[in-house]
Amino acid sequence: MPVWSVVLVVALVGLVSAGVGGTIGAQLGLSNGDGGQTSAPSLNNPPPTGAPSRPPDTIAGVAQRVSPSVVSIQASGPGLSGNGSGFVIADDHVVTNNHVSSALQRKGIEVVYSDGHTSGAKVVGAAPSSDLAVLKLDDPIDVEALEFGDSDQVTVGDQVIAIGAPLGLAGTVTTGIISAVDRPVTVGEEGEETFISALQTDAAINPGNSGGPLVDEQGRVIGVNSAIATMGGMAGEQTGSIGLGFAIPSTQTERVVNELIENGDIRPAVIGAVLDMRYGQGGAPIVTDEQAGGDAVIPDGPADKAGLKAGDLIVEFDGQKVADATELRLLLSQKQPGDKVEVGYERDGKKRTTTITLGAAKD
């Protein structure tokens, strides 16, 4: 019997040209929810005109209440325009992916509500390291702001609903379950990677869903749809859902969004050392000075102050075992500058521990 090999390619749920249906830049590269919230948000969006109403605790009922607050995002200039998705939060802000807003920003960004109303929008803050961006609407209409849920309380098997504009088809609703949590996903080209400890779902997500909400059965946003895994294909070939979608958890999203609204950008937490991203034998090694072409440990930086040195192998971070440098980057993405973290490392074959105060990435 032949042995079939399957190549899974994690790819951004790229923008889609409404005119040709092709993927634009589809190289792929994730807040503190209210854990005490158990009831449905007080969404007052009425059902679409002529549509039969459904009980609020059904999939149809959630979709009817949430959909008016989900928008399509497209270029406002002439010619072919790509599209992505987003959702309205408080004070007429819209949350979306950075890879959506950055691709459209030069032509100007236009937001389209489910009733066809359009509004210009400007980027008030973007975080490429988290693949998140926040827009401010120029001409908003009165829809209910969506609320963030607590993705830390999500578990495998929970039912979820994805809403967005896949392939330019605005207002598309798909449903499924949470297939996995804390799924390490690395997307983007070398030097511009986004590291996501993602929610994995089998709800159908396709190009154009980027930036749209993944909501729970109460209509709370527990994730921002951002990436899919696809079967390997020819370069430039259109890809679609195979039941492996990834969303940035709301716990990370809400924290980043609040910082973007307040400051316009974020400064990710760093340890102040150069890691060997190719090492695959367990742990995240700090490269040698020769490999770094200079100081592998930044003088007077967080790692230096904690006593770490070039060549040390980091094996634990904040009580969690570290499989490789990618996993360490994922764990770092969930922290903030100034956090104190216990780090386990090996030097000359001996296990040691230290406490590191994380620094902020430089501009």
Query: Would you say 268 and 256 are in contact if contact means Cβ atoms under 8 Å apart?
Result: no
Q: What is the DSSP letter of 105?
A: G
Residue 284 has φ and ψ, to the nearest 5°, of: -120, 105
Query: Would you say 253 and 149 are in contact if contact means Cβ atoms under 8 Å apart?
Result: no
Contact partners, residue 94, CB within 8 Å, separation at least 6: 71, 73, 86, 87, 88, 111, 121, 134, 135, 136, 137
DSSP string, 171-196: TEEEEEEEEEEEEEEEESSTTS-EEE
Identify the active-site residue in 17, 31, 81, 131. 131
| CA nearest to 37, candidates 201, 150, 143, 122 | 150
Identify the active-site residue in 85, 99, 202, 276. 99
**Residue 321 to residue 317: CA distance in whole angstroms:** 7
Identify the active-site residue in 130, 151, 210, 250. 210
- Catalytic residue flag (residue 210): yes
- Catalytic residue flag (residue 131): yes
Report the 10 Å Cβ neighbour count for 94: 27
Q: What are the catalytic residues? A: 99, 131, 210
